[in-house]
Structure 1
């Protein structure tokens, strides 16, 4: 009989739990639960994910113990200063984990320090001994599960990497083929939101597979730098394809090949590049090096076009050239994997966006930090001032663990999580009261642990997935209730106390999750929409800031903050959309919500492009009259974006409508004059190209703003954001 992957993973987890309990109880350890806890949290869908978690668990535990001992040394007698220092530690961990590649390291750092505090019963004088014991228990769980994951039905991530890379390369090819087909047939290109989302998700999947395969495949580990560079280049190609589709939506009907020279040869070359990259990755062969391509316009023919058409053609030409550059680098990265090349050294700033996102303040991340701290302090003050509080310090520890995990997925339905966890705990009651007292030795106990763990894990994996918070909790809480050890006792009071502890924890979390603002998915969806529109408006308005002000540190931080918001907008909005019940949407239809998201992503992409245009080169060719019109356009576009984000700023809707109709007419410049200026020198040519590109981007933003503006008039955001259920 062929076992499913779910059944195999459940059997591996059950075997690992039985093994660690046998070893821990054989060594007469006081709390074998923490070894079992390490097994549960390290068990993942693939070997690479499990090993990654195991390594991060060890590193996080050691780092947290050093931090805990430092805090104990600094504040051994002052309860309040100790708690403040502990809160700052947890807050730092929660803040960094939300954008870090190594989330589990920060999760472990955040709660292990409270685990140490709980283990000592508040007596920090014995923290060293307890800390060493916790490290031993955690290492036992990690080593045992790691050995079982490697030796029994290993689910290596290399296969997932091969599948993810092949799927992404195929989607790249099909996406480009669709765009090129429209160019050749002179058909209008429609922006396809579903295909764009699929492409972005597949790109994210590839980068995750590279991280996992680097842990469980020696071959991938040896060339991990080359694979990481390949992942970065694939993301760059994905973004170039999305920009190309956006530009073709404006110009495809013009007959691009009529005004741009060498388009047919370009299309054939790019399609060949995608085919070569796919063959290089799948067959392990080297791809032919790509030659540089630069699409040029036919100046005489372009002079026949209107300003709108010239601007659209300019942005299409730039998009085609960008795609040619990125596919050339993509080929180099694929060849690097085969011959251990070092083309990644040409891109020293590839990880710059990661560090910007990690360090830059983010309102959602700060809100999650506040939620965790509120939960910890409510539990701690209750422990101090409520005599004989059920659970004691265990409540503080478990609230910290669950709140930190929830910070990574705040859209999780707390009520649903609570119901499933309590239900599984109640299902464990017959075992606790009627089966366990009659067991004669560890063999019978081990059989019970094996069967229980297999059934719960199998059903939880099938219902919620291997990385679900609910799956982790329904496996952990029964282990707390069973409390396996060499001096097993059974008490109805203890059992009911643990169930009440669980109820208390979820009650406190229900309070803290709405501080400082609601975690309601609809409200956070709207909040992120407003935040994106506000940041887009701020970036658009920064085009004419004096150079002296640009050099100030505060201004640079201000700009970096808004750039970060625009860059993470896609993930933030889609993240909260996943938490919305699509069958109970009020105030708008499902199609309208998806269209809003699509338009926001298009606006975000164009605003990023607009901010990156070199304005100094534009000023070299454009007279003051043109730059003045560009300034007026920025002001009007910024006002519309501010209005859509909910900031009226004393702007009347009628003036916005009239202003929008005049936006592009104010920038209606003489194209023939610009073309003649571009023939003078290379600098003039580059300046003309930048100005036409600027006009093309503004044309895109105008179209998207117009549609979003009209769409917003039919949406009832207040009704959409209303609380409808727990």
Structure 2
């Protein structure tokens, strides 16, 4: 639960306290209960002291970072909307929109992280948690909706949109006012204008002259723009509540999708398995090796340090050697040479304060959080402050010996069942991603709908949705000196292209359940199956080798997509409105749009992957 829960501290304390009670309590229930109560008092005292310090002496809040990120995200989405309108008019730059979209994706990730932190350490944000969560969901859904809207511009740019959508200019002006009002209210300033209703109706007389396929494209674009209107209204209402200008009781929050049945997370299972293996090895070592350093104290040390290290596999175990050694040496000097000369609580408190300050200052960056925790833990373990203080060099030597066994043990367990090298982890995650994509697309090609595979399908959906973020967590730990600086610089773009591919595949999975015209399905069956087979073959090759980039395969995929695009247009135009209902026309267009955008996203990934030198990733090397 530590690996993914928002309540990591709770689960860490649960595992840590369980080991203490089990080891110290033994088989006597009364002693175990007394140990548990003592630990509860100690934990409560620590939480109380930390709370007082953080509230009164050294307040620290993530609210400022959250506020800056939210304002930046709203400004980015406003720029994307303005740039999209220019593209729609045939005067924009797609490269600018793509760059802004990458900033938007990164902003959504930062927003989610900072919101979780601010809810924990800021009373103001915690009091409005519902409004902030609604804002975050609406912002994420707005980004996805605007992306889908932009993918239909090819059919819209040649249409007389001012005649077809008379309220288009009013729609653009209203959304510009809403974005401005959202930024103002988040800064606790009144919005210049309230929200006004925009129907964005299509002019029936102008639409009658359109071919059926272009008419469908216009209807789908109208649906996307109305969804954008709905989401910006939700953002406006949430901002009004956050800024204190209205009550959110009457506002409508964006719908939350059903997460589906529970499925296991491979990374959590791996971390839990590694921790259990480490505990068993430590337990067996203490039992079968006579005079093992520390005895069951070593077992108690493996638990908390193992939970902190093995749930963060991105940080190599060898990186803990320096902070552990520094903490032991620093604490040993204080314990042996300074503490025996202290005669008052004032001197002891000053020493603890200075030592804690120096350790925290040495490892102050967020990337060194684990090293900071390890250094502080070594300091506390070695000085062992008590009312009847005694000093023995043997306790320092025993702690150092325990650490000399602990690090190799954790380093060994970290290789179970896979190598923890960042490049190998990235290759494994890429393989899992394309295997899940292959399964889902194959299932969609067969029609899906079997209840016997619903849990398996949900597992692969979760994999597809979560793996880009997991890949991103490893990117910063890749060594440019080993894999090449140019290749490493391509990795963020590679992850972004996978996130875009995930969004496009989710469109296909949504569109496959839409009711389609039986006649169209029969007429287009061969073309759709041929496209599916091309993409499935690409996923199979990419799961084995992400550098797969055959020009012949790319040309065939482009050919299949162009043929499918042409045939759908011909079939829709030939069928006309008499044979197809408006819903069937929209559904087939949504399916075509999903196919087209998936092809483009896949080709975008292949283009980025071609700039990465994959040969060093497969080389064996000593770490």
Question: TM-score normalised to the size of structure 2?
Answer: 0.88
Q: Does 1:619 align with 2:517?
A: yes
Find the counterpart in structure 2 of residue 342 from structure 1.
249
After superposition, give the CA deviation of every residue in 1:664-696 in whole Å (9 maximum; x if it has no partner).
244131525514656349x71121122122212
Rounded to whole Å, the distance in 2 between the matches of 1:665 and 1:159 is 49
Find the counterpart in structure 2 of residue 106 from structure 1.
11
After superposition, give the CA deviation of every residue in 1:187-222 in whole Å (9 maximum; x if it has no partner).
341377764454334334434444444455555444
Contact residue 324 and residue 374 of structure 2 kept, 8 A = yes
Q: Does 1:468 align with 2:468?
A: no
Q: Does 1:688 align with 2:573?
A: no
Find the counterpart in structure 2 of residue 203 from structure 1.
108
Structure 1 residues 657, 144: closer, same or farther in 2, change over 3 A?
A: closer
Q: 2:138 aligns with which of 228, 233, 238?
A: 233
Structure 1 residues 405, 255: closer, same or farther in 2, change over 3 A?
A: farther
Find the counterpart in structure 2 of residue 51 from structure 1.
none
Find the counterpart in structure 2 of residue 183 from structure 1.
88
Rounded to whole Å, the distance in 2 between the matches of 1:256 and 1:466 is 54
Question: TM-score normalised to the size of structure 1?
Answer: 0.76
Find the counterpart in structure 1 of residue 597 from structure 2.
700
Structure 2, gaps ≥5 residues long: none
Aligned to 2:517, the other structure's residue is in SS state: helix
Per-residue deviation, 1:599: 2.4
Per-residue deviation, 1:350: 2.5
Contact residue 336 and residue 342 of structure 1 kept, 8 A = no
Counterparts of residues 63-462 of structure 1 (less than 5 Å): 96-120=1-25, 126-190=31-95, 195-215=100-120, 218-244=123-149, 257=161, 261-262=165-166, 263-283=168-188, 285=190, 288-294=194-200, 303=211, 319-337=224-242, 338-342=245-249, 350=256, 352-353=258-259, 359-461=262-364
Rounded to whole Å, the distance in 2 between the matches of 1:404 and 1:260 is 61
Per-residue deviation, 1:609: 1.2
Q: Does 1:719 align with 2:616?
A: yes
Structure 1 residues 296, 530: closer, same or farther in 2, change over 3 A?
A: farther
Rounded to whole Å, the distance in 2 between the matches of 1:195 and 1:409 is 31
Q: 2:539 aligns with which of 636, 641, 644?
A: 641
Per-residue deviation, 1:511: 0.3
Structure 1 residues 421, 320: closer, same or farther in 2, change over 3 A?
A: farther
Structure 1, gaps ≥5 residues long: 1-95
Q: Does 1:516 align with 2:417?
A: yes
Find the counterpart in structure 2 of residue 486 from structure 1.
387
After superposition, give the CA deviation of every residue in 1:337-382 in whole Å (9 maximum; x if it has no partner).
44332357665x62744x86xx422222222222212211111111
Find the counterpart in structure 2 of residue 87 from structure 1.
none
Rounded to whole Å, the distance in 2 between the matches of 1:332 and 1:517 is 48
Structure 1 residues 258, 527: closer, same or farther in 2, change over 3 A?
A: farther
Rounded to whole Å, the distance in 1 between the matches of 2:339 and 2:123 is 44
Structure 1 residues 698, 256: closer, same or farther in 2, change over 3 A?
A: farther
Find the counterpart in structure 2 of residue 33 from structure 1.
none
Per-residue deviation, 1:127: 0.5
Bigger Cα displacement from structure 2, 566-575 vs 437-446: 437-446
Rounded to whole Å, the distance in 2 between the matches of 1:258 and 1:345 is 31
Bigger Cα displacement from structure 2, 182-191 vs 443-452: 182-191
Bigger Cα displacement from structure 2, 160-169 vs 413-422: 160-169
Q: What is the alpha-carbon root mean square deviation over aligned residues?
A: 3.5
Contact residue 483 and residue 616 of structure 2 kept, 8 A = no
Aligned to 1:190, the other structure's residue is in SS state: helix
Contact residue 512 and residue 591 of structure 2 kept, 8 A = no
Find the counterpart in structure 2 of residue 569 from structure 1.
467
Query: Across the two proteins, how many residue pairs are aligned to each other?
Result: 615
Aligned to 2:544, the other structure's residue is in SS state: coil
